[in-house]
Amino acid sequence: MYTNQSLNRRDLLRGTLAASLASWTLSDLRAEESAVGDLQLTPFRFDVTPPIGHSCCGGWIKPVEVVDDSLDAIGFVLFGIGKPIVLCAVDWTGLLNGAHIEWRKALAEAAGTTPERVAVQCVHQHNAPFACLEAERIVASQGDLPHIVDLDFFRRCLDRGRSAVGDAVKQARPVTHIAISQGKVDRVASNRRVFRDENGRIKAMRGSSCRDPKLQAMPEGLVDPWMKTVALYDNDKKIVACHYYATHPMSYYGDGHVTSDFAGLARKQRQKDEPDCAHIYFTGCAGNISAGKYNDGSKERRPILTQRVYDGIVASEKDLKPQPIEQVGWKTADLIPSPRETLSAEALVAQIGNKDNAVVARNRPSYMLSWLRRVEQQIPIVLSSLRLNDASLLHLPAECFIEYQLRAQKLGGDSRFVATAAYGDGGPWYIPVKEEYPAGGYEVSVAFCSDDVDTQLTKGIQSLL
């Protein structure tokens, strides 16, 4: 039985884990359980499409020239278990460090709750903003680098969020039932790290797109093929459907065309089917997962991938059987992973200031330097989970490897339906599992945390489940 943890239980956990996890902050491990009474819910949506000229993906690909389709922030507010709870998915590459915290604060303020009760997860399309306020301050001081994020646009998005949530809370309605189901997605996800030498080291990466026939011919590798759906109802009326699938959601990018790409387009197609239900798409632990095996980067592949994801969403909803909501719980835990020993603030400052370096070799280090400064200030990442009957909606940071998602499902046990959304606070960038660090490869090269993040994050997941 899922029960609230007493203060004594918290103290016991804190003492037990402190010795092994010096960076795992359990003083803020929080759990709240409700006997279900008057639960209410309201969905919200607001536009977060960047203006023409805005940087995409940190400023090292072509900025916005055309808007092919809008980018959205979609979520819901749940009332009836202490202060309100807010979940939100954003069609951006990422929200990192202070930018992620500012989003959570803004939505919390509008919903009448606290930031710890707000989960904001990015979908991770690349022709989109990759917002870090500290990194923006760093590159702006250089005077010759593309901006990370336009601060006026960023503030407008927060204002839109406050307005959308503020309007939505006036229209809250009862939420009485939940249904869970899953369906397989055909020929989309594939593991990026399948080509290795005899020592297990990565020889080549199968990226979001791939035109190497040898790499395309290799097996899918370790993936989670399931689209998971958690739907919420007002009696027999479906009002929210949250969809979870793990893959990098890009068919092609870097052309200056803003798009929600195949994941967002599939979501929008499903939204048209059911205009009275808010469909929300969350990207799972896709740090080492992409469509590369099935995507050559041609324009023709986008509608094909869109249809396959859409078919997966439809399949995941076929067996939805609404049941009365009988248990609701919200848990959070704070995590401060250690940075890699190879990261040097002095060296990063030199890289950023070297005008002979390419933009990517100057803007990317600004994110690394931002992470180091954050860790110095001991500002934690907030992990969270929303328990609804036998379903747990798990919210993780950054670009976690798929192993964390599969591990969470195992920790949940046979009786728990675990739906995982990654790409929350993107401060650490990639989060590989420990055994992948010696294998090298791109993802490991841009992981900002030391390999003990595996132990810390796994303990966090376990505490939430």
| Rounded Cα–Cα distance for residues 19 and 1 (Å) | 28
Is residue 379 within 8 Å of 397, Cβ to Cβ?
no
pLDDT at 19: 34
Contact 130, 398 (CB under 8 A): no
**Under 8 Å between Cβ of 454 and 4:** no
Q: Provide the residue-wise pLDDT of the chain in tens; the chain has 465 residues.
A: 333 332 233 333 333 333 333 344 433 455 665 555 689 999 999 999 999 999 999 999 999 999 999 999 999 999 999 999 999 999 999 999 999 999 999 999 999 999 999 999 999 999 999 999 999 999 999 999 999 999 999 999 999 999 999 999 999 999 999 999 999 999 999 999 999 999 999 999 999 999 999 999 999 999 999 999 999 999 999 999 999 999 999 999 999 999 999 999 999 999 999 999 999 999 999 999 999 999 999 999 999 999 999 999 999 999 999 999 999 999 999 999 999 999 999 999 999 999 999 999 999 999 999 999 999 999 999 999 999 999 999 999 999 999 999 999 999 999 999 999 999 999 999 999 999 999 999 999 999 999 999 999 999 999 999
Cβ atoms of 434 and 452 closer than 8 Å: yes
Q: What is the pTM of this model?
A: 0.93
Q: Read off the tokens for 437.
A: 């660090």
CA distance linking residue 188 with residue 344, whole number of Å: 38
Burial label, 45 (beta-carbon count in 10 A; 0-12, 13-18, 19+):
middle
Please, what sign has the CA dihedral across residues 170, 176, 178, 179?
negative
Distance CA 269, CA 307 (A): 9
pLDDT at residue number 384: 98
> What is the rounded CA–CA span in Å between residue 448 and residue 372?
9
CA dihedral 181, 77, 74, 395 (to 10 degrees): -60
pLDDT reported for residue 327: 94
Compute CA 47 distance to the chain's CA centroid, rounded to the nearest angstrom. 18
Tokens matching residue 251: 């068919």
| Token output for 282 | 């969350």
Q: Which of 121, 145, 147 is nearest to 281 (CA)?
A: 121
Length of the chain: 465
